[in-house]
Structure formats: structure tokens, C-alpha cells
Amino acid sequence: MANKGKILVVEDEFIVADDLQQMLKKAGYEVCGIASSVQKARKLIQQHQPDWVLIDIILKGDYSGIDLGNELMQQHIPFLYISANTNQRTLEAAKLTRPHGFLVKPFREKDLFIMLDIARYKLQTETNRDEDRKFRKTVDVSPHLNDTGSHTAEILEKIRIVAPADTSVLITGESGTGKELVAKAIHRLSLRSELPMVVVNCAALPVALIETELFGHEKGAFTGAGQRRVGKFEQAHQGTIFLDEVGELSPDAQVKLLRVLQEKEVVRIGGDVPVKIDVRVIAATNRQLEKEVAEGRFRLDLYYRLNVFPIELVPLRDRKRDIPLLADYFLKKYSEKNRAGVEKITENAMRQLISYDWPGNIRELEHLIERHVLLATGKDIPAFDLSSSATAPGVEQTGRLKTMDEMERDHILSALQASKGKVSGAGGAAELLGLPAQTLYSKMKRLGIKQVFK
Ligand SMILES: Nc1ncnc2c1ncn2[C@@H]1O[C@H](COP(=O)(O)OP(=O)(O)OP(=O)(O)O)[C@@H](O)[C@H]1O
């Protein structure tokens, strides 16, 4: 019979374990071990890397089968529960760990075989779906990146070089330049691609939570810590951790992070046993970290650890050559996705894109094209409406507040653009702004607005 894969049995009753072993062998599985506790199971999993784990829920020792299920879920190792305990709370807790099956004791041999067959089928369809998604993502980023000489082609080359090397990578660039996309591409092309890339947005986490989030905590470590929690570093074991907005970490969190990177182990909060971790670190920031270091906000030693291989993403306004490539790519993507039949961006419209400043970078370009594909009535996009900027009104990219005059000037210019230069009368800018035409004329004069749009 064909080998259906390696399976580890976690069961503390010897007789039941032995029965299971016989049944599994009969069904074509290779039983790679029997563990009577979660601690032993962890060792055997490391040693044999089973394809499946069959877990009894109630086990002797400090950890239950559900604790192990939790860990396996994070590590993406498929597992099934077997248990005599079917009370609601246990079932609910078990469900949260997303097992591939659950069998109630006592069971017939046939029930076990059916459960395993269903689990294998489910896993196969999941894997197909993942592969499909991965494949789509790969083709999603690559075609337009390959144009030699473009900034994106240079970046792709760097990704290709660094991906298999397992070193830390620091990606810098303004918001929307594609930092996360680059991180994903590095992970996908690395030897760790079969394991997850765990994303941590350091800016989105309150200072008080960041340590629990990164390093996890033991049950009862602090008020409210009802359950043990595995931190992101442990979740990323053997995979990649992506520390987005790393420049936002507090000094305390920076010290802790540095220690984890040096020691290659984490200690959960409230715990004393260090857990070995093997992760590749990719960090990103839209701050200039050198400046943060110089001004004492970011630790130099941590900066050196992270910045082994720097990748700098240039703002879109400084890589104008890439604009047509990206624009055509997004046009095709969204036209196909929405079956919109939009084939082209006219030369005029492309010129508009090239001369625009792109404060929101590639993200802004992508959204703009998506919107215009949806609004298009013909086969091409004749012009873009660039009046709604990606930044919040009144705030420049540098974060400087605009003066009232600057705000007023911008607002009047937008109205004039919308009215195609017409100031007074029906549909004119004065009407749009709810002002008497004379008032608008004098404001324009004061603010130095002479240009009349055609
Ligand atoms: N080279 C590229 N090709 C196609 N799409 C891209 C490219 N670069 C960025 N994008 C798209 O632009 C959007 C923003 O990218 P991403 O989230 O990676 O930027 P970011 O720099 O991480 O932004 P933030 O700093 O705001 O988190 C995404 O939708 C991404 O798919």
C-alpha cells in the first residue's frame, strides 16, 4: 500500500496508543513516534517532522492536547483530535485551533480511516488553493518589474540576490512605495517560503501590548492573561518575521528586540524558560533611520543588526520612468478583474500621470487607476481627475500644516479645475464654492491665481 505519510500519535494511555499505531499502519501511514506528553511531542515533531499529528486532548502533565493543537496551528502542521471528552467548552476550545478532524472515543477502526481520508482530502484542496494564490501573487508583481533600467527592475534584482541568503533586510521608503510587497517577495523566493511570513505592524500596537505581541506571555503573567499566548516570533519559527514600521518601536521594545536577535531565543512574559527561535527578520520603515539614530531615537546596535542588507525604495515622483509601466500594469489588472474592457491610457492622460507628484506613491497610482477603470465609459482613459490628493487636506507630505491662504488657494484651484476654468455663471467655480463671483475674483487676485483652465 502507498505510504500516506508520517504520523505522530500523542496519547498517554499506552494500550490506546498501541491500538492506534496498529490501525494507522494498516491504513498505510508510517507512525514516526508515540508521545505521552506535549513536551515529548514537541521533541518528536522537531526530530521527525511528521505530516500529521493525532492528539488525545486530555494528557498527563502541564499541557493539554489543545495547547499542542494551538502550537501546531501556528506552525501549519495538520493535526486531528481524538477525545472521550466532548463537553461544550472543550469542543469550543478545540475548534479555535482549526483541527483537520475530531473523533470521539470510543470509535471504530472504520471511523478513524474515514476521518483521515477526509482530512487528507481537505489538506489537498487547501494546498492547491495556497499554491494557486502563491502563483497568482508571483505573476502579479513580476511582469512589469522586468523592464531593464527601471527602478523596479533594480529592486527585483536585489530581491533575487538577498532572498536565499537568510540575512536581515531593512526596507526603507515612503508610505505606499511597496515595502510590504518587497518583503513578501523576499520571503516567497527564500528557502523559508513553505513556512509563514508573520507580519507585525509596530506602529499599530500600543506600547503596552508590543511585548506580549512579539514575545507572548504565560497564563496568568498579568491581570487579564487568562490563556497562554504564543508571540509573533514563535509563530514565525523557521519562517520570516516582517517588522513593519520598525522605526516606531519604543526604546524599551528596541532593547528587547535586540536581545531576541542576539540570543535567538524568546522568553514569554511571565515565563522563565527561553524558547529557541529560528527566524529571518525583514524590517521596514518610512523614517530615515540614520537620522533617528543620530537624534537618539533609535538604537545604533539595533540599526546595525537590521540593516545588514538595505533596500531603499525611491518615491514614485523620483522614478517617473516606472509610471507608464505600473500604470499599464494596473490598467490591465483592474480591467480584467472588473471585465471593464478598458484597454488604453491615452497619451494625454499618461502625461498627466507623469507630471503628477504622487504623495501616496504606488498605492495612490493603483487606486487612481482602479477608480478610473470603474468609471470609464469607453475603451480608453482619456484623462485623470487628480484633484483628490492622497494626503489629508491641509497636510503636506512633510507633515507641515498648510497656511490658510495655501488651503484657500488649493481649494479654489480644485473648484476651477472642476468647472474647467469657468468662474461665474451656472456650473462656474463661484457657484461650486457658494460665493458671489465678484468675491471669488478678488480672492483669486489676492492669492495670485491667474490661470484659467481650458
Ligand atoms: N512594484 C509594484 N507592483 C505592483 N504593485 C505594487 C508595487 N509596489 C507597490 N504596489 C502596490 O501598492 C500598494 C502599496 O504597497 P505596500 O503596502 O507594499 O507599500 P508600503 O510601502 O508597505 O506602504 P506603507 O508604508 O503605507 O505600509 C499595494 O497595493 C501594492 O500591491
> pLDDT digits over 114-160, tens only?
888 888 877 776 765 665 454 445 434 444 444 556 777 788 888 88
The atom number, within ligand 1, closest to the CA of 244 reads: 27
* Residue 179 in contact with ligand 1 by CB distance below 6 A: yes
Domain boundary among 124, 142, 160: 124
Question: What does the pLDDT look like over 391-402, one tens digit per residue?
Answer: 444 444 444 566
**Residue 197 pLDDT exceeds 70:** yes
206 and 186 belong to one structural domain: yes
In a domain, 131, yes or no: no
* Residue 248 in contact with ligand 1 by CB distance below 6 A: no
- Amino acid identity at 90: T
In a domain, 188, yes or no: yes
173 and 301 belong to one structural domain: yes
288 and 417 belong to one structural domain: no
% of the chain exceeding 70 in pLDDT: 89
CATH number, domain at 76?
3.40.50.2300
Q: Which of 180, 246, 289 to mutate to test the pocket of ligand 1 (most atoms within 8 A of CB)?
A: 180
Confidence (pLDDT) at 404: 77
Q: Are 228 and 74 in contact (CB under 8 A)?
A: no
In a domain, 132, yes or no: no
Confidence (pLDDT) at 450: 65
* Residue 359 in contact with ligand 1 by CB distance below 6 A: no
Q: Are 403 and 416 in contact (CB under 8 A)?
A: no
- Alpha carbon of 176 to ligand 1 centroid (Å): 5
CATH number, domain at 446?
1.10.10
Confidence (pLDDT) at 448: 74
- Specify whether the backbone of 451 is left (phi greater than 0), alpha (psi in -120 to 50) or beta: beta
In a domain, 136, yes or no: no
In terms of pLDDT, which residue wins out, 396 or 387?
387
Domain boundary among 312, 338, 369: 312
376 and 422 belong to one structural domain: no
Confidence (pLDDT) at 368: 93
Confidence (pLDDT) at 2: 61
43 and 84 belong to one structural domain: yes
* Residue 178 in contact with ligand 1 by CB distance below 6 A: yes
In terms of pLDDT, which residue wins out, 309 or 454?
309
Question: What does the pLDDT look like over 27-76, one tens digit per residue?
Answer: 999 999 999 999 999 999 999 999 999 999 999 888 999 999 999 988 88
Split into its structural domains, the chain has a count of 4
* Residue 243 in contact with ligand 1 by CB distance below 6 A: no
CATH number, domain at 206?
3.40.50.300
**Residue 430 pLDDT exceeds 70:** yes
Question: What does the pLDDT look like over 302-322, one tens digit per residue?
Answer: 999 999 999 999 999 998 888
- Amino acid identity at 392: A
- Non-local CB neighbours of 156 within 8 Å, separated by 6+ positions: 142, 145, 146, 185
Range of the domain at 73: 6-124
Give the three-state DSSP class for 24. helix
In a domain, 448, yes or no: yes
Cross-strand partners of 284: 171
In a domain, 140, yes or no: no
Confidence (pLDDT) at 402: 67
* Residue 177 in contact with ligand 1 by CB distance below 6 A: yes
Which set of grid coordinates corresponds to residue 137? 501573487
156 and 224 belong to one structural domain: yes
**Residue 229 pLDDT exceeds 60:** yes
In a domain, 129, yes or no: no
Q: State the Cα–Cα distance between residues 97 and 76, nearest whole angstrom.
A: 11
Which set of grid coordinates corresponds to residue 197? 511570513
In terms of pLDDT, which residue wins out, 8 or 158?
8
Confidence (pLDDT) at 392: 45
Question: Average pLDDT, stretch 284-297?
Answer: 90
**Residue 190 pLDDT exceeds 80:** yes
Confidence (pLDDT) at 129: 61
Question: Average pLDDT, stretch 161-190?
Answer: 91
Mean pLDDT for the chain overall: 85
Domain boundary among 312, 335, 361: 312
383 and 450 belong to one structural domain: no
Confidence (pLDDT) at 127: 65
List own/partner pairs for 72-77 with CB under 8 A and 24 or more apart. Answer: 72/45, 72/97, 73/97, 73/98, 74/230, 74/234, 74/235, 75/195, 75/237, 75/238, 76/195, 76/196, 77/45, 77/50, 77/52, 77/53
Confidence (pLDDT) at 158: 87
Report the predicted TM-score, pTM, of the whole model to 2 decimal places: 0.59
In a domain, 145, yes or no: no
